[in-house]
Amino acid sequence: MPTTTDPLVSTEWLAAHLNDSNVKIVDATFKMPGVMPLPKDDYLAAHIPGAVFFDVDAVSDHSNPLPHMFPSAEQFGRDAGALGIGNDDTVVVYDSGGWVAAPRAWWMFLSFGKDVRVLDGGLKKWVAEGRKVESGQVTPKPSTFKATFDARRTRSMQQLVENLATRAEQVIDARASERYQGKVAEPRPGLRSGHIPGSLSLPYNNLFDAATGTMKPLDELRAAFSGAGVKLDAPIVTSCGSGVSAAVLTLALYRLGVENPALYDGSWTEWGAADGPPVATGPA
């Protein structure tokens, strides 16, 4: 494991440690429902050698009607172990390079007691550098992963409803500005448009370089949060459409030294339901 506390790891580092027996690589690519080809098919077509596929929808609470909600510690441990991941392994998570789901997988591992790394630039940067990929399914040797859930790392709708009155925590919305302001319909049918009252807007794609797939430097991240009205020394909760891209903000905050931000797991899919709590529209 790199000695830095930065959750990011470079393609150069991964290439140098690709064949280390204790380095486990995880492809956590995710797409919105209906977007083809499916993430698993992309993985089967091309992935970093040895990478296993982390299905954000599969590693979730299947008893909850909301999409990909956090599973129990028991289930997460079982699912991680089935991917060949043990508590002592060095885990590097990546996605296709659009900074959507690798940070979500990273936050899930961290919430269940395992510090892992995110590949800066993901598969996009890896391929752009001419590095080797492989196709087909990787079948890992099962391992044992003991998971312990840290409830401080997530928030429920009830907690955020209570926060409407106290404003004890800043809520930052990672969705596109048009969705935050309620100018466009939500991609998931049946949801209201708008945002959680009092929440701030910082679209997650403002935090990385679209051309290279790498996350922006720390000074630019700090400026982005400051420009959105976020106080880094006060409690923060990140939110988005369904609790995935919010983790991009969480990752950036962690890199800036904010080590205890929380993530609203249900996010707008829960809050924006027809019978949900109050909704605000317009700019922050």
- Which residue among 207, 240, 246, 252 is the active-site one? 240
**Can you say whether residue 250 is alpha, beta or left, with left for phi > 0 and alpha for psi between -120 and 50 degrees?**
alpha
225 CB neighbour count, 10 Å cutoff: 23
Q: Is 189 exposed, middle or buried (0-12, 13-18, 19+ CB in 10 A)?
A: exposed
Q: How far apart are CA 137 and CA 150, in angstroms?
A: 32
Q: Is 134 exposed, middle or buried (0-12, 13-18, 19+ CB in 10 A)?
A: exposed
Q: From 262, 263, 257, 249, select the one nearest 5 (Cα to Cα).
A: 257
Whether the bond into 37 is cis, omega within 30 of 0: yes
Asked if 259 and 201 count as a contact pair (C-beta separation under 8 A), the reply is: no
Concerning whether 240 is annotated as a catalytic residue, the answer is: yes
**Annotated catalytic sites, by residue?**
240
